[in-house]
Amino acid sequence: MKIYLVQHGEAKSEAEDPERSLTIRGEEETRKISDAAKRLSVRPSRIYHSGKKRAEQTAGIFAAAFNLSAQLGQGLNPNDDIRPWAERISRETEDLMIVGHLPFLEKLASFLICGDERAKAVMFRYSAILCLEKKEPGRWVAERIIKPDNT
């Protein structure tokens, strides 16, 4: 089983757009990554996103690439508690993609890899995909990172 963690694409500043929608660059990089992900056989069964505009737009681009629909996932905002999602992920049997924000994604990845959400095990980048693979119950490893600058 794999979990794909994606930080939303580059977004406009709050002063420029209070909803913080994606910039043109954010849209382009996300499309580039979604195309690369398809070539690399990334195949999530479901895509979840926070309700924030930038995450919803990013998830929509990935969903279109994979012929899926993106779903709102409760508890994926920047400062939400990661434990409910960590528990949910531990019960899943299908590959999932989660599109969200920092520090939430950073804490979730650190918890899954190290068992400590404060470990800062990985660094995220806008639009990049961190692929975590479950090796055995409770043991996850970073399988790969797909970034816009290396696709």
Q: How far apart are CA 100 and CA 55, in angstroms?
A: 6
| Confidence bin at 136 (pLDDT 50/70/90) | confident
Q: What's the pTM? A: 0.96
Looking at residue 138, its pLDDT comes to: 80
Domains of the chain, start order: 2-9+20-137 (3.40.50.1240)
| Confidence bin at 84 (pLDDT 50/70/90) | very high
| Confidence bin at 73 (pLDDT 50/70/90) | very high
String of DSSP letters for 28-84? HHHHHHHHHHHHTT---SEEEE-SSHHHHHHHHHHHHHHT--EEE-TT-STTS-SHH
Mean pLDDT of all residues belonging to the chain: 96
Looking at residue 53, its pLDDT comes to: 98
Looking at residue 137, its pLDDT comes to: 81
Q: How far apart are CA 66 and CA 69, in angstroms?
A: 9
Looking at residue 148, its pLDDT comes to: 87
- pLDDT reading at 135 higher than 80: yes
| Confidence bin at 151 (pLDDT 50/70/90) | low
Mean predicted confidence (pLDDT) in 31-41: 96
